[in-house]
Structure 1
């Protein structure tokens, strides 16, 4: 019996979706699976994939809806499917699953969609939204398998998209540090900070939904606390966030570090990790922080409460509440015993996010689809 062929489709991304895709294709057994990736990733990432023995098809899938551009993308995907002849086409995220499923419509392949985030129809005209919802409803019925990276996303698919519950499997993302660089990062030395100061940090794409603006406001509330704030990540909201930092006179205490590929080293510098998201499909940076023994403050949105029990593995607060964020951060900074106890419990809880467990669940899904 020959190898099962799997085509992965994903748009350009730098967060949990990209981490998940890279972990998945790295871990899939190359003796059992022949893998191709159709993506919009940067050249460095594409070279990484090629070194793994993976065929890479480069195309800019984009993010919004553009009929002319999307038509070209759909045409290209059909060409790749006809050339590669996959048994399964596995799509990640809303945009890739839209163009991918349209391209595969009526083609002899099994389709899998991994849902990483909640559907977002903001900034979309009424007619475009109506068209998209109608098309999605048709495509959902034809999709063979959905994977949700949290129970919250599964519930949303059932309630808001009317996807049948038995077509959705929850498979959590895993902790995979294999593609990070290991550095001897020392933020106190690098930024000439007092040795007795506390370091509060976050890892987030700089967009409004990640709530970094709330963390900046919380830092302003905590002006009398001996703490410094660092955010690893980049994005289109960076300039606005920097203006906020400057206007609140926080430029000596709050630092936007930009994109980093040494996240484990960064996390080990922190006394407290904060994820102030307004919405979050899963929250992979939370489990990365827990695995490094860093106590976590996060908002109780999306999949985060599936990772953190309030007061057990971390502290949960309401979204868009800088006051609650500030109070939770200060609680950790003032109580060393609390930090130790919660970080220990957090580190003990991350076993269920092993890469072996994730890949075994994916194997079951692929094998079941191949057998249909």
Structure 2
């Protein structure tokens, strides 16, 4: 962004900036970005737009969510098979004991259920810790940690029956969109951005309470989410998102020519 501001100062090229970090850390990163006064700012929630308005009232801002390729992430197609006991709860997250993903909450919640397996897709410095904890609480036939290349992830989502991610905050995780586009219901943290993203395609709850979290997972596993999840995912299809960016870019080009 600093380099873009430098180029703008030299030749007048307007800046269209997408705020990827959301309001993590109390919005400090977003506040720093606003100091560069982008010509137009893209955020992905009303909450972010309100934050921007308070920080810099005259900042032009548009709400455009992240998008998902619904032709790639769909219920139909091949799937992996790791031999885990069904049903499968899928969690896509980095494995760091001290980060905001809070994967341990998911392991302990599913351990309260007498059925179902947890597949964690991810890697990180504490992978061995989570591997040991999962095997201790769930056993090898109900738990696995694996990493997959991105082009195989559609097959991974199809293997699951439910998606969960208990992160303490999440700017706009693509994993939610990919899961819903693949026909999976979602159980996740109860906050404004997750309620907006998940809609009626899952359950939001207090994931810090193991009994409540486990109960939400059990309830979600008893339902068929495919239709609702896929329909909700269409709100974030790349086709829709691309059109909104196109319109915004054309608007900025038109405005720049007038200036």
Instruction: Kindly state the Cα deviation for residue 364 of structure 1 after the two structures are TM-superposed.
Output: 1.8
Matched with 2:121 is: 232
Residues 140-173 of structure 1, C-alpha deviations (whole Å, 9 max, x = no match): xx211110123333334334xx133761111122
Call closer, same or farther: CA 1:137–1:320 in 2, change over 3 Å.
same
1:138-287 aligned at under 5 Å gives the runs: 138-139=35-36, 142-159=37-54, 162-164=55-57, 167-176=60-69, 184-187=78-81, 190-191=82-83, 193-194=84-85, 197-207=86-96, 208-222=99-113, 225-246=114-135, 248=137, 250-261=139-150, 262-287=152-177
Instruction: Kindly state the Cα deviation for residue 200 of structure 1 after the two structures are TM-superposed.
Output: 0.9
Residues 198-248 of structure 1, C-alpha deviations (whole Å, 9 max, x = no match): 1111222334212212111112222xx221110122334434423433554
- Larger relative CO (CA 8 A, sep 6+): 1 or 2? 2
**How far apart in 2 are the matches of 1:100 and 1:322?**
46
1:13-24 aligned at under 5 Å gives the runs: none
Matched with 1:316 is: 204
User: Is residue 153–residue 281 contact of structure 1 (8 Å, CA) maintained in 2?
Assistant: no
Instruction: Kindly state the Cα deviation for residue 116 of structure 1 after the two structures are TM-superposed.
Output: 2.1
Call closer, same or farther: CA 1:106–1:240 in 2, change over 3 Å.
farther
Provide structure 2 residue ranges, at least 5 long, that are not aligned to the other structure: none
Instruction: Kindly state the Cα deviation for residue 174 of structure 1 after the two structures are TM-superposed.
Output: 1.8
User: Is residue 70–residue 237 contact of structure 2 (8 Å, CA) maintained in 1?
Assistant: no
**How far apart in 1 are the matches of 2:208 and 2:140?**
22
Q: What SS class does the counterpart of residue 286 from structure 1 fall into?
A: helix
Matched with 1:113 is: 17
| Backbone CA RMSD of aligned residues | 3.0
Provide structure 1 residue ranges, at least 5 long, that are not aligned to the other structure: 1-96, 123-128
Q: TM-score, normalised by structure 2?
A: 0.81
**How far apart in 2 are the matches of 1:301 and 1:328?**
15
1:46-85 aligned at under 5 Å gives the runs: none
Q: TM-score, normalised by structure 1?
A: 0.58
Instruction: Kindly state the Cα deviation for residue 179 of structure 1 after the two structures are TM-superposed.
Output: 7.3
**What count of residue pairs does the alignment treat as equivalent?**
248
Residues 34-72 of structure 1, C-alpha deviations (whole Å, 9 max, x = no match): xxxxxxxxxxxxxxxxxxxxxxxxxxxxxxxxxxxxxxx
Name which one, 1 or 2, has greater alpha-carbon Rg.
Answer: 1
Matched with 1:52 is: none
Q: What SS class does the counterpart of residue 289 from structure 1 fall into?
A: helix
Matched with 1:368 is: 251
Matched with 1:29 is: none
Residues 99-156 of structure 1, C-alpha deviations (whole Å, 9 max, x = no match): 444544623221121112234459xxxxxx8xx89864531xx211110123333334
Instruction: Kindly state the Cα deviation for residue 251 of structure 1 after the two structures are TM-superposed.
Output: 4.3
Call closer, same or farther: CA 1:260–1:177 in 2, change over 3 Å.
farther
Matched with 1:36 is: none
